[in-house]
């Protein structure tokens, strides 16, 4: 079936080569069925159009006979102006898609088209308003996008500057740490050299710091003792004088 159909389609032209297997044959068979269904529909449509054309021709002859016999009107008997008016009338009826050429049909069709025209104009105005609104929104969005790009650029520049500062600080910190380590090593070497030359350990920096801390602690311990001792400064230097002083205080009391 598929082969016969392909020969029918291509006629005298050789059928293009294709891989013959179950899948390709199934696809071609499906296409063949769709094509045959379409051909049937087209044939039915052509027959229907032919039937309509026959009916229209018969109806035209019928009205032509009526106009010719009853009114004595024929295409040749009309004046040029009448033929032109009749042609305009027919074209207008076809353009307006009216069922007949009565004034009622023309008025109804014109009113309908006028209403559709107003609807179209209103829809166009609505679309123009939407277009203006969308244009404003788009312009605002583009400006915002541009502003955001500038802000992002500034932030990147600021971050790069901060990163450069951080790197510089990190380098300075590393330099100070290395310098501190170097100074500690030099101080330790100098102390070892001084100790080797017989310097007293109590005069070393660490010993002096420790002695200073002990001195501060002792001064704090002496503070309450000094306050207690100050209360005895007004007493006489001997016991008899002290007894006299106590007796005077007793009499005064």
Query: Which residues of the chain fall short of a pLDDT of 70?
Result: 66-78, 198-205, 231-237
CA torsion 235-241-242-243 (nearest 10°) is -160
Pure H helices in 67-102: 80-96
For residue 8, what pLDDT is reported?
83
For residue 244, what pLDDT is reported?
80
For residue 46, what pLDDT is reported?
93
| Angstrom distance (rounded) from CA 195 to CA 120 | 109
| Angstrom distance (rounded) from CA 35 to CA 23 | 18
For residue 198, what pLDDT is reported?
66
Q: Taking phi first (over 0 means left), then psi (-120 to 50 degrees means alpha), and beta for anything else, what does residue 82 get?
A: alpha
| Angstrom distance (rounded) from CA 2 to CA 16 | 13
| Angstrom distance (rounded) from CA 63 to CA 182 | 125
Using one digit for the tens of pLDDT, what is the confidence trace for 198-215? Answer: 666 666 667 777 888 888
For residue 138, what pLDDT is reported?
84
Using one digit for the tens of pLDDT, what is the confidence trace for 90-116? Answer: 788 778 777 777 778 888 888 888 888
> How many beta carbons lie within 10 A of that of residue 31, not counting itself?
13
Q: Which two tokens stand for residue 113?
A: 């088209």
Main-chain dihedrals φ then ψ at residue 128, nearest 5 degrees: -65, -40
Cβ(35)–Cβ(8) below 8 Å: no
Q: Provide long-range contacts, Cβ within 8 A and 24+ apart, for 89-98.
A: none
E strand or H helix that includes residue 145: helix 103-196
Beta-carbon contacts of residue 204 (< 8 Å; ≥ 6 apart): 191, 194, 195
| Angstrom distance (rounded) from CA 136 to CA 147 | 16
């Amino acid at each position: 079936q598929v082969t016969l159909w392909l020969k029918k389609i291509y006629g005298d032209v050789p059928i293009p080569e294709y891989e013959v297997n179950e899948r390709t044959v199934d696809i071609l068979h499906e296409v063949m069925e769709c094509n045959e269904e379409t051909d049937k529909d087209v044939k039915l449509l052509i027959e229907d159009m032919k039937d309509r054309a026959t009916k229209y021709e018969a109806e035209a002859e019928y009205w032509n006979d009526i106009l010719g016999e009853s009114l004595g009107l024929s295409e040749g008997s009309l004046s040029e102006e009448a033929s032109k008016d009749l042609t305009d009338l027919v074209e207008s009826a076809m353009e307006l898609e009216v069922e007949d050429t009565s004034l009622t049909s023309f008025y109804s069709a014109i009113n309908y088209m006028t209403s559709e025209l107003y609807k179209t104009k209103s829809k166009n105005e609505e679309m123009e308003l939407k277009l203006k609104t969308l244009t404003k929104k788009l312009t605002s969005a583009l400006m915002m996008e541009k502003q955001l790009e500038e802000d992002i650029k500034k932030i990147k520049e600021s971050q790069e500057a901060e990163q450069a500062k951080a790197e510089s600080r990190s380098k300075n910190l590393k330099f100070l740490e290395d310098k501190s380590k170097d100074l500690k090593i030099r101080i330790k070497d100098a102390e070892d050299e001084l100790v080797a030359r017989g310097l007293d350990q109590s005069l070393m920096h660490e010993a002096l710091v420790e002695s200073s801390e002990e001195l501060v602690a002792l001064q704090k311990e002496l503070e309450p003792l000094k306050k207690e001792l100050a209360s005895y400064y007004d007493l006489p230097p001997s016991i008899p004088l002290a007894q006299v002083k106590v007796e005077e205080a007793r009499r005064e009391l």
